Amino acid sequence: MERFDQINKDNLPTHVAIIMDGNGRWAKNKGKNRIFGHKNGVQSVREVTEAAAKLGIQYLTLYAFSTENWNRPRDEINALMSLLVSSLSSETKTLMKNNIRLMAIGDIESLPSNVYAKLNAVIKKTSENNGMNLILALSYSSRWEIVNAAKKLVADVKKGKVSADEINDDLFATYLNTSEIPDPDILIRTSGEFRISNFLLWQIAYSELYFTKTLWPDFRENEFYNTILDYQNRERRFGKTSEQVKS
Ligand code: IPE
Ligand code: IPE
Ligand code: MG
């Protein structure tokens, strides 16, 4: 039986988040420069996005560029930004064909103006699509997001729109970039690193974590399905006992 058919379509994660890591090492292993790795990573983005949409996943978040990534060499940043623009252009038809809506989280106003404009154009063009939501985390860092949320909340308290007593988890979450998006059910990180790198710290409180040694450009459709199968064998207890969950 094909891996796709083995997946129980009634027990899919609603939201899959991925830290796409390992492009540089993938290229180095082949004696190529890092940019070659990023270019090949785009093919994995396409395959995984189409696989997720085909399965019926509702939200797929991809960590594409972190706030900390601004500290990389200028050449690499420029190459990543041009790759983003060219991929957004070439993938728009794939998004439309698969009924996918593009969204973005992060400090997207800090992106170069051509990237920002292209991103907004594709977000607008796909805004009526009602299949999967594809969320790109760009110039994103979770601490930035949380601090920003705190600032906006304080401003609303000062204006009298919110009273301090009303503040709870749910209210706070409405101030995050992800206010419209449920928490990830599973977080995947490729490339064998066991860290979170400032990604969705608030939102992954109860996510299942999945780490694989596979480098991002090698992470394709079948491995994505394997990950979903692994997820379906987990027992999510949310603090309860196994017996409580089963009954
Ligand atoms: C992930 O691959 C892509 C981005 C962070 C933009 P890396 O570029 O981090 O690849 P490694 O970790 O150096 O192999
Ligand atoms: C995390 O990867 C960010 C993205 C995948 C966009 P990094 O390669 O930048 O992470 P660290 O710095 O090695 O933890
Ligand atoms: Mg890396």
Domain borders along the chain are: 2-141+182-246
Tens of pLDDT, residues 144-155: 999 999 999 999
Identify the pLDDT of residue 224: 98
Residues in the chain with pLDDT values less than 70: none
Q: Which CATH architecture has domain 2-141+182-246?
A: 3-Layer(aba) Sandwich (3.40)
Q: What pLDDT, on a 0 to 100 scale, did the predictor assign at position 168? A: 98
d(CA 179, CA 135) in angstroms, rounded, equals 12
Candidate of 18, 21, 214 to mutate for ligand 2, largest count of ligand atoms within 8 Å of Cβ: 21
Q: Is 69 in the pocket of ligand 1 (CB under 6 A)?
A: yes
Q: Look at residue 1 in the predicted model and tell me its pLDDT.
A: 75
| Ligand 1 binding pocket includes 21 (Cβ within 6 Å) | yes
**218 is written with which tokens?**
């090698």
* Torsion, Cα of 50, 51, 55, 59 (10° steps): -60
Q: Where are the alpha helices (DSSP H) in the chain?
A: 3-6, 23-29, 34-55, 74-97, 113-125, 142-158, 169-173, 221-232, 242-246
Which ligand is nearest to the Cα of residue 139, counting in written order?
2
Give residue 235 CA to ligand 3 midpoint distance, Å: 30
Report angle CA 80, 53, 221 to the nearest 5 degrees: 70
Task: Please indicate whether residue 106, judged by its CB atom, sits closer than 6 Å to ligand 1.
Answer: no
Give yes or no for residue 66 CB within 6 A of ligand 2: yes
Total-model pTM: 0.98
